[in-house]
Structure 1
Amino acid sequence: MPLQVSTESPSAIAQSLESSSSKPSFLVVYASHVDGRSWCGDCREAEPLVDAKFADRADDVKVVYAGQKDEWRQAENPWKQAPFSVTNLPTLIKVTGNASKWERLVEEDVYNQKKLDAFVGPKTKQEQRL
């Protein structure tokens, strides 16, 4: 099942990620779609792999769109601001340790299966049984 896009504000998403428990939380930031397709080639490559990676996992994952090209290029784009600090699309953010550690997988690394697997981690035994 494809991941669901969050309609929460950036501040609400930041608060949610920062209040995560001992289990990692993830945020996927993609370029917005035009006519049903992302304007970002790297995002188009990444979406099916990211969807498949999280399909049967119990992880907390939020997906957001950073906007059309003109919105994305603006310095005040909320996803470019702290704590997200996204510089390139797509970006997969992992928050662990009660928000003390923010890690990022960026651009072509997001759709590199080995790097994606290493970043997200293996499925738990419980997830493997599902």
Structure 2
Amino acid sequence: MPIKVSNESPEALVESFQSSSIKPSFVVVYASLTDGRSWCGDCRAAEPLVNAKFADRTDVLKVVYAGQRDEWRKADNQWKKAPFSVTNLPTLIKVTNDEWEQLVEEDVYDQKKLDAFVGEQS
């Protein structure tokens, strides 16, 4: 399964996208876990659909966590800064040739929107 939880900093992720020979690159930003579950209901709803979508793909999906509620709500949260510019959780980001696109919040767990955003297996 090409889903990998990443502890990379935002800067390191950007660098990995720029050096990646696999295009497009994907990262999903979820709320952090508490007792094995995300504190964010939308993240909990999206996770099984995202996992299923990437289960049989060659694309690698990196999973990062934006923090607990108090960390996420801070204006200086590292994932709120460019180029990620995450405003709501979850956010699925696709990077293709320096073009950054987002699928945000309930759109991530809308199967039709998720399928259209991720596209067919390349």
Under TM normalisation by the shorter chain, which class is it?
A: over 0.9
Map 1:1-130 onto structure 2 (within 5 A): 1=1, 3-21=3-21, 23-97=23-97, 99=98, 101-124=99-122
Paired-residue identity, %: 75
SS at match of 2:116: helix
Distance across 2 between alignment mates of 1:21 and 1:42: 31
**For 1:44, what is the secondary structure of its paired residue?**
helix
- Judged with a 3 Å threshold, the aligned counterparts in structure 2 of structure 1 residues 59 and 22 are, in CA distance, closer, same or farther, namely closer
Q: Which moved more, 1:15-24 or 1:37-46?
A: 15-24
Q: Distance in 1 between matches of 2:59 and 2:4?
A: 13
Q: Which has the larger radius of gyration?
A: 1
Separation in structure 2 between the aligned mates of residue 4 and residue 25 of structure 1, nearest angstrom: 12
Paired letter, 2:25: S
Query: 1:102: how far off?
Result: 0.3
Shift of 1:18: 2.8
Query: Which amino acid is the alignment partner of residue 45 of structure 2?
Result: E
Query: Unpaired runs of 5+ in structure 2?
Result: none
- 1:20 Cα deviation after fit: 3.3
CA contact (8 A) 2:42 2:106 kept: yes
Q: Which residue of 2 aligns with 1:128?
A: none
Query: Stretches of 4+ moved more than 6 A in 1?
Result: none
* 8 Å contact kept, 1:24–1:60: no
Please give the per-residue CA displacement for 1:87-124, whole angstroms capped at 9, x wherever unaligned: 00000000002x1x100000000000000000000123
Inter-partner Cα distance in structure 1 for 2:48 and 2:42: 11
Instruction: Say which SS state the counterpart of residue 28 (structure 2) adopts.
Output: strand
Change (3 A) 1:107 1:75: same
